[in-house]
Amino acid sequence: MDGINFIQDFAVVLLAAAVAGSICRRLGLSVIVGYLLAGMAVGPYTPPFSLVLDVARIETLSQIGLIFLMFAIGLGLSLSRLRLMGATTLVATGLGAFFVLNLTQILGLTVGWTADQSLFTAAMFMVSSSAVIAKVVHELKLEHDRAGQLALTVTVLEDVVAVVMLAVLGSLAAGSDQAPGGLVGLLGSLSAFVVLLVMAGLFLVPRLLRRLEARADPELQTIAVAGVLLLMALLAVRAGYSLALGAFLLGAIVAEMPQSRGIGRAFTGLRDIFSSVFFVSIGMMIDVRMLAEVWGWILGLGVFTLLSRTLATSFALILVGTPHREALRAGLALTPLGEFTFVIAQLGVASAVLPKTFYPIAVGVSLLTVLVSPVLNRHAAGILEFVERIEPRWLTRLLGTYRDWLLQITSVRGGQWWQLSKRRLIQIGLEALFVTGLLIFSERILAGIREFGWLEGFDPGRVVLSFWITIGLVVIIPLIAIWRNLAAVGMIFAEEASRHTRLSAQVIEAALKVVSAVAMASWLARIVPTESLPRWAWLIVAIVLGGAVAVFSRRMIYWHSRWEDTLGDVFRSPAAGEGESPEGTTRPAPAWLATPGDWKINVQECVLPEGAACGGRTIADLRVRSRFGCSIMEIHRHGATLIAPEPSQVLYGGDRLLLLGTQEQIERAREALTALTPPSGTPAFDEARLETLRVPAGAHVGRSLAELQIHRHTGVLIAGHGRNGHRRINPLASQTLEAGDELLVLGGPRQIRDFKHWMHAEGASPASDPGSGSGPTLRSPPVSA
């Protein structure tokens, strides 16, 4: 009966989510609000409507939903996209999170929270809702406003902050001691694990997807990715982190693949189902009676969140050089809290760091910010004007001076040494983290292999020795690469330093090599678990590795080059849909929009729907500038960008246009360009029919099909032509018509009726004698095209 009860609970969750979500969508609210309310309605704490009573089963559903939700978030945030967002925005996001942390800690000291409770609460307030912000930005036409673009970029990067905080908080809650050195050691261990998992994923996942793609079986591809997804989540848990980390990382890895769009489509249904399950299960955990007890906390923390997030994110953006008006506008847009608030609250309550009252508090504060944020942003202009009126002049001048100084500093390029070495330094850092991750998690890997029972029957001592020899052979290749890169960086630095000192380049280079060797030896001594083997066994490992280096050193360098090329191919290969915006998101602003000088640039996006009436017509035919006063600056089509398109450029459904003009001009142009072809002129596909008609005498006789342009006038397609018993399918455009010719016509009922009227309007009426064969005659029944 347990299986039947599980099916019953699952059905209740989905039906409740569908009903509540549809009601909230009709009211203009986020469906997440509906899912939470549905959970509170059917959960175990709201009798007599409690339809789901098994708390353990609820938690299981929640975990499954979290995995698919995090995979979907990672799938929308590829590693390449993170790289393109720029260092300044990344720094601003980190600073904003740091300021929120400090403000929340001050609040925690005031109200008497413990240090761990303040940390969990700050993590709940660090992350905004990307879905709500994207909706607000779209409704207010801010997609190509600088402040709107900043808000969208920061909210995406805050997802990364949330994943990092989840991993850190999960380790702290579990009392993990795998990383000595406190929080710094924990962050280092986390970075090593992430790099290890990402590099392994980038090496293995593309090969798996290519093999499955070659079999042309999307069903197997979806099943395989789902299996890898659950495995990655399990690996993250076994490493001492949250399963959300593994699911998010796999999503980010798959986002780099050319198959990402197909996988995204295949997982859309699973994502929708299980993400709704997650939010409903969060709602079911809330004791509704507690809301009456904590409503004061909800209001107080809601106001604190709105103020602290606006101030923290605005100040962080100002520090990286954003004009303070744009920074404040972006800060107002970044106020709504998102799904990570519920995830972190769930972790805090489950680990007993936070009391159970924090469930309804987290939900209430999040709902309050989601409801208030659109109102604040609709009145943003008035808020900004009020701030400008009360802002002291000296502060305005100080901020302007600081921004000018920052622009002057950032415009100075680094020295030659930095320009030549930065790529190698990044490689050193990533490969060092990879080696660190592999070594510090090696014992967990061995324990996992033993759990599967693959090593039963083998001598345990030989198994451990063989395992460490294998790990050593894997590690030695990046170690050689690290040493070669350190030597190259040292040589470049020595050449640069010798110009400013009396020491020769050879002496400086030799000294740097000694320092590098000592640093590498000290680093390896700290991360290698020497207690895993006796000293004589480590001596055997060293002899084997030394022999491998002596014999295969050139081959190892070649393998490392192939490994780098493989990773480079992953990042260079265009992912499916690259250059296009996923549903629910906006394209990044064009680079020229960021520096318009003193011009008041108003650029907005217009997406032509499929079946748009303007589809197939040129810009010159549409007379966009003369009719509406605005200009088409760019056209984005299937990943390609057409800048300053020619008047002869044809527009098609699905095109994304960047329109330049006043708000009124753009609105009038959008209304005209997005108008659809009337349904009556476009019959449904299953209404198409074939009819054979005879050509009457008239002005069209003796003219070719190309001259008559029948499709343009009537919408029908001439599929065949017959004369004197000779019939031809798909006649040429040069085919002339004679009285009495047969035409096989394809079209809808109205189109064929228009064609008959058009033919008779062009010529004489057909003879009334049915035996003469003149006049329109139905020769075949309707067909389903």
Q: How many alpha carbons fall within 13 Å on the CB side of residue 343?
A: 31
- Of 383, 379, 385, 364, which Cα lies nearest the Cα of 300? 364
Q: Which residues of the chain have pLDDT under 70?
A: 1-3, 49, 53, 55, 58, 78-86, 143-144, 173-187, 213-217, 408-419, 452-457, 564-601, 638-640, 677-688, 762-785
Residue 440 pLDDT: 81
The string of DSSP codes covering 438-504 is: HHHTHHHHHHHHHHTTTTTTS-HHHHHHHHHHHHHHHHHHHHHHHHHHHHHHHHHHHHHHTTTSSS-
Q: State the Cα–Cα distance between residues 100 and 288, nearest whole angstrom.
A: 29
Q: State the Cα–Cα distance between residues 314 and 622, nearest whole angstrom.
A: 42
Q: Show the tokens assigned to 63.
A: 């975990």
607 exposure class (CB count in 10 Å sphere: 0-12, 13-18, 19+):
middle
Cis bond before residue 48 (omega within 30° of 0): yes
Mean pLDDT of the chain: 78
- Residues facing residue 550 across a β-bridge: none
Q: How many alpha carbons fall within 13 Å on the CB side of residue 17?
A: 21
Q: State the Cα–Cα distance between residues 206 and 254, nearest whole angstrom.
A: 8
Residue 411 pLDDT: 56
Q: Show the tokens assigned to 88.
A: 């300044």
Residues in the chain: 785
pTM: 0.62
Residue 350 pLDDT: 81
- Residues facing residue 776 across a β-bridge: 693
Contacts 24+ apart (CB under 8 A), 536-544: 537/461, 537/464, 537/465, 537/468, 540/465, 540/469, 541/465, 541/468, 541/469, 541/472, 544/469, 544/472, 544/473
SS3 557: helix
Q: What torsion do the CA atoms of 246, 251, 252, 254 make, to the nearest 10 degrees?
A: 120
Q: State the Cα–Cα distance between residues 642 and 628, nearest whole angstrom.
A: 21
- Of 754, 741, 658, 660, which Cα lies nearest the Cα of 702? 741
C-beta separation of 671 from 663 below 8 A: no
State residue 439 phi and psi, 5-degree precision. Answer: -80, -45
Q: Show the tokens assigned to 248.
A: 């998010």
